[in-house]
Structure 1
Amino acid sequence: MIYTMTLNPSVDYIMELENFQKGGLNRTLNESAFPGGKGINVSRVLYRLEVSSVALGFAGGFTGNFIETFLKDEGINTDFVNIEEMSRINVKVKADDETEINANGPEIKEGHLVALLDKIRKLTSEDILILAGSIPKTVPKNFYGIIAEQCEKQGTKIVIDAEKSLLESVLPFKPFLIKPNHHELGEIFDTEIKTEEDAIYYGELLKKKGVQNVIVSMAEKGALLFTGDNVFYSDVPKGELKSSVGAGDSTVAGFIAGMVNGLNRKEAFRLGTAAGSATAFSIGLCTKEKIDSLLNKITITEK
């Protein structure tokens, strides 16, 4: 089974306005609400690719109930640790430009962390755990590392998509997959990735740290997969960029879906690239139909 973890999930409340008047009364044209968080995005895309997963994390209050109910209604299994405070609400105002107001999130207590770790201990060598996104401010910065250490003991595969400060504690436990974009790859090595050659050099350095697979996304310049002794480059299909939100999560979901369905890593990479591109060309997360329409438009070459 695939498990995704979102430690600081949200209700993303989106308000569309014709224009925004600061200090005045504003009325919306449209409103919508969705569960937010990188791990949740991965679970939602996996489901669209007909791959089951279980969403883990913390959820509380009426917002936590909304997140769980929404996911269950979509057909996604959840096993959140219930907390006393309500899960956060992130407000996105779309007018002439886009303004975001993101909440910090609830307090996570020691008992909540223990309860989540108890769930992690039940995973086996047949399972994959995807750690994605930020953590609440009350959770220790090395918590992903604590989880990864436990998973290594059990043989559970770890996938991580998070910023440098959260990623570093996981590296000693040889994660199955890491997916930084080229900016995040540069941050890991305190440098700036300007060219494909830079990305290849530092991607190989990251793999030498014990990571089994590394995907480096470079926006419109394509993506690189470092796996075994091979480096593969994927271009991206042509299309209108509508939103980059969730594109990286979709890439992770596509690659993992390919792997669990028996594709080799090159073809799983193709599926990941198609999923990421499909989300970038959509309002909201990709559909399977959109992914399928892009698969044959992607060229993968070996470097």
Structure 2
Amino acid sequence: MQFIDQAEIQVIAGRGGDGMVAYRREKYVPAGGPAGGDGGNGGAVWFVGTTNLQTLLDIKYRHILKAPEGERGGPKNMTGAQGKDLIIGVPCGTLVRDMTTDTVLGDVTEPDQYLLVAKGGKGGYGNVHFASNNNRAPEFATEGKPGEERELLLELKLLAEVGIIGLPNAGKSTLISVLSAARPKIADYPFTTLIPNLGVVRREGGDGVVFADIPGLIAGAHLGVGLGHDFLRHIERTRLLLHVVDLTSLDPRADFDTVQEELLAYGHGLPQRPQILVLNKYDSVQTEDTDQLAAPFTDVNLPKVIISAASRHNLETLLRLCWQGLDQLSGVYSLS
């Protein structure tokens, strides 16, 4: 499946139907008066959150989404049929922005959440509305109003409580694959992961927590270098970050600093997001001295854990830190 997380589209609500000029023409009613009905309102354009979609692929190539117009009013004061609303399903996590005004119209984050993005035009009045003592047989009606028309930018930001970040080949995909049922592509070369992967990790006696494996960040990601520029937005909704560092790297501390600098440069609240430092690939280092392995990070004021995702070493400790961090953010965690 192709992962599309941005789409530019045009939405056009339906035009209202015109009012009608008509008169009563009944037998034995010589002065029946006006009887032209109103036009029907045009259809509106709505987005609705759905769990059946994971990307914006279905929308990206439609370009123009147009709702039906309202029908013209009829004789005998009959109102024209209203244009049917156009309802478009979008993945949960879709942010909708008006490209002309650069304003956010809404954020679809829940299943069955509706967002009105273009109002339908109001139907015109039939001539019955314009009858008066001075004009008992008006010969005019009003036209229907055009529906709203907008150029929209849709941005999909994954909904995950825990984001897994780090340089390419730090072991993020392996970690999410052993913690959850996710099965990302794993290999020993950079940029194996080309799209974010989601996995659900079950808490003991609790609900599942969504983890997101974010494609590898590199220096300059916030400027569009590598893959990070396209996927940094997916970290924005996470509550907790697992920063995975490869202990077999030539300079693990430099790797850590590189990603932190990218978060700082990108902004959007990411530098302040709670993090856990995950020192990975313990099974591949030359020493079992954990103090020595953690020494380069003594000045880093983050919870730290040394693991091996491949051999599943110390994953229980990692998950305990995750649950504690999430509970603290919810205000329910106690140190007792």
Q: Is TM more than 0.5 here?
A: no
Task: Calculate the TM-score normalised by the size of structure 1.
Answer: 0.28
Q: Which has the larger Rg?
A: 2
